[in-house]
Structure 1
Amino acid sequence: MAKTTTAPKQIAFFERYLSIWVFLCIVTGIVLGKLTGSSMKVISDLNLNSINIPVAILVWLMIFPMMVQIDFSSLRNVGANKRGLMLTVFINWLIKPFTMAFFAWIFFTKLYAAWISPELANEYLAGAILLGAAPCTAMVFVWSYLSDGDSNFTLVQVSVNDLILLVAFIPIVRFLLGVTDIEIPYNVLFTSVLVFVLIPLVSGYITNRWLIKSKGEHWFKSRFLPRLKPVSMVALLTTLVLLFAFQGEQILEQPLNIVLIAIPLILQTYFIFFFSWYIGRRFLKLPYCINAPAGMIGASNFFELAVAVAIAIFGLNSGASLATVVGVLIEVPIMLSLVRFANRWNYDKPVTDATPV
């Protein structure tokens, strides 16, 4: 009898080519900035309590579709994989933010001192810190699915991660930016977390419970979420176009800076994943289906939040905002390479069955 084979799992079309869309946004934004000139300043001046209103609306549209997927009832299963959850919390909140700050500090203020000014180095460093303090919320579901991770564990770790984010993001960012002598107003940081995390999280949870109760879980997952997803993608791309419309002059003058920013972010991503993978496998003896998503959530970033906070604190035309967007640019290709590694080294599969995605 012919041997049946399972079709390889695929990432959705948009997510697979996210780096291409980001590149197109760079080009579109730069052209738009050139054509409109100083008239773009009208958008940057639409602020309320230091939060840019157009950007806040766009970021909220980005984040809400992710938050509405979180089911906090999954927390009743929090004890099912305690060691895996311990690894996730340890990596995300005690290792990643600090190693990201260290990598960025070494590259931006030391190794790159001959190419970028100290002021710009500090802004890039701030953007990297914001990325490091915001571990992934939504895309980790994709990486876990592609690497055959345990979906229930992934849901639990994302739920726990979001709750920790509410209380840990502000003090970690304040501490790391303070250590690096970057001044940051506490009220702006607090308002950013309130607008971009707490409100979408609470409203997303309420919407999730209400729609599932009134329409059913099948309708919610098969009809509502697919219709909501394009809203998030369009909002993300529009935000990037706006950002690069303001960043155009800087990028045209110093195009190499995007590469310089990308290098420490890439190194940090690989470091965190393999560090987490090694601890999970060698010391905690985690099964592959737990170890893989535990590593994926730490390696990837909640870049929507990082972009939003960078814009709120430093402005649309800041180096910090540019650094967070470079994080978006590199995320998908790097994470897909880690998915391929995980599938190739799935240590719980028989060797003859271990085939990469």
Structure 2
Amino acid sequence: MEAEAENQRGTPDQMQDVEKLPHDTPAAEREGPTSIFKGLGVLDRFLALWIFLAMAIGIILGNFVDNVGPALQKGALVGVSLPIAIGLLVMMYPILCKVRYETLHQVFKTREIWIQMGFSIFINWIIAPLLMLALAWAFLPDEPELREGLILVGLARCIAMVLIWTGLAGGDNEYCAILVAVNSLLQMVLFAPLALLFIKIISHSESTIPLSYPVVAKSVAVFLGIPLGAAIVTRFTLRKITGPAWYDNVFVKWLSPWSLIGLLFIILALFASQGKQVVHQIVSVVRVAAPLLVYFIIVFFSTLYITYRLGFGYRLSTTQSFTAASNNFELAIAVAIATYGADSSQALASTVGPLIEVPVLLGLVYVAKFVAKRTNWKP
């Protein structure tokens, strides 16, 4: 069986690039670390704490330091203040540098990948956004601006933190990277028209600042297109000049923390800009948190159960579940700020996303590993 599996994998050179495609191979059965925190750096390990601290510092600055809000609004890039825009680009770029674009053409030759991709696209781009739309209306029928921010979060499919959750839970990192690449491309095409469909047409938005297709499309192009293009150029250029080993083991490891640093800066800046508003709207923050919590739990467990019943291995099921449950709150924040302004309720609602997602999905990592152990779920 081992020899047969080796033959199916191909040559050593091919294995180096596509060694972890989503197949249930014997190599996948190795056990992960006893504690998921052993696989985390300091930033990742206490990310929920850092987010709370960034929010607290931002609120204190916004309420007790004069002119900090206006200072963070200086300059503009497609409607987003320059400091926040730089933070958004810094946040998106590192994670996109990890995607193995050079192997995608090999991956898509297998029929199994297309089946998995079709399932993921159906969950991510039809079921999950519609569920968030329903939850937004159910929990916030009297708060149209908060509801719009929540809808934007539901439409932004995850292309960043999902790689962390998948890795911690022992999912298929290579397949997860494929989903990140595909969702990045789909967001370039689908986010703007779906945002208009869900907010302007289905929800009949009566916001004083109407959602504009050009503004949304431009925000997606800048805050996703620029880092995606830069990441592709960086990966192909540096890997050719320095070699794959240096790129993966030195450059990517040095670059990775900047994504979380960018996230923390964005949260601090947003809450500094909205410090007084947050204090006066703490009830609104709680009301936005409630549907987000329900959303993460429903999407994760539903996907995990369906994939289990369909006979997917644990690694694939976990990857599918975390990809479906996670959201690209970076893009939602960027669009909300560009469209409605940094001090808007829509921006506030989108900013609550990482506050809830990080601790909830970190807890679901433990749940996934517990379920796998109790059910003897094969990789």
Question: Is TM-score (shorter-chain normalized) higher than 0.5?
Answer: yes
Deviation at 1:202, TM superposition (A): 1.0
CA–CA separation in structure 2 for the residues paired with 1:5 and 1:306:
36
Q: Does 1:148 align with 2:174?
A: no
Bigger shift: residues 143-152 or 162-171: 143-152
Say which of 115, 121, 124 aligns to 2:146: 124
1:26 aligns with 2:26: no
* SS of residue paired to 1:346: helix
Out of 55, 62, 74, the residue aligned to residue 84 of structure 2 is: 55
Task: Tell me the amino acid that sits aligned with residue 102 of structure 1.
Answer: A
Which stretches in structure 2 are left out of the alignment for 5+ residues?
Answer: 1-29
Q: How does 1:1-357 map to 2 (within 5 A)?
A: 7-8=33-34, 9-10=36-37, 11-38=40-67, 40-44=69-73, 46-76=75-105, 77-78=107-108, 79=110, 80-109=112-141, 113=142, 121-178=143-200, 179-182=202-205, 183-282=210-309, 284-346=310-372, 350=376
- Over 3 Å counting, the alpha-carbon distance change for 1:48 and 1:336 in structure 2 is closer
Contact conserved, 1:288 with 1:348, CA < 8 A, in 2?
A: no
Change (3 A) 1:314 1:130: same
For the 8 Å contact 2:43–2:257, the answer to whether it is kept is no
TM-score of the two chains, using structure 2 as the length reference: 0.83
Once the two structures are superposed, residues 244-266 of structure 1 have per-residue CA deviations (whole angstroms, 9 ceiling, x without a partner) of 11211122223232221111001
Distance apart, 1:6 and its partner CA: 6.0
Which segment is superposed worse, 296-305 or 145-154? 145-154
Residue identity in the other structure for 1:173 = A
- Contact 2:166–2:319 (CA<8 Å) still a contact in 1? yes
Q: CA deviation at 1:39?
A: 5.7
CA deviation string 1:204-254 (max 9, x = no partner):
111011111111111111111122123222222222111111211122223
2:77–2:85 CA contact under 8 A, matched in 1:
no
Q: Which moved more, 1:150-159 or 1:46-55?
A: 46-55
Which ranges of structure 1 fall in alignment gaps of 5 or more residues? 114-120
Count of paired positions = 339
Residue aligned with 2:140, SS: helix
8 Å Cα contact 2:74-2:82 kept in structure 1:
no
Contact 1:170 1:189 in 2 (8 A): yes
Checking the alignment, whether the CA contact within 8 Å between 2:318 and 2:368 is kept in structure 1 is yes
Offset at 1:38? 4.4
Seen in structure 2, the aligned counterparts of structure 1 residues 5 and 23 have a Cα distance that, compared at 3 Å, is closer
Q: Partners of 1:249 and 1:210 in 2: how far apart?
A: 46
Runs of 4 or more consecutive aligned structure 1 residues displaced over 6 Å after TM superposition: none
Given that residues 71 and 205 in structure 1 are in contact (C-alpha distance below 8 angstroms), is that contact kept between their aligned partners in structure 2? no
Amino acid at match of 1:148: G
Contact 2:336–2:350 (CA under 8 A) maintained in structure 1: yes
Q: Identify if the C-alpha distance between structure 1 residues 150 and 248 changes in structure 2 by more than 3 Å, giving closer, same or farther.
A: same
- The DSSP-based 3-state class of the residue aligned with 2:65 is helix
Moved more, 6-15 or 217-226: 6-15
Shift of 1:348: 10
User: 1:329 Cα deviation (Å)?
Assistant: 0.6
Contact 1:134–1:303 (8 Å) recurs in 2: yes
Identical amino acids, percent of aligned pairs: 33
What is the deviation of 1:124?
Answer: 1.2
Question: Structure 1 residues 350, 264: CA separation in 2 closer, same or farther (over 3 Å shift)?
Answer: closer
Deviation of the 1:44 alpha carbon: 2.4
TM-score normalised according to structure 1 size? 0.88
Residue aligning to 1:118: none
* Contact persistence 2:172–2:319 (CA under 8 A): yes
- 2: distance between equivalents of 1:339 and 1:230? 21
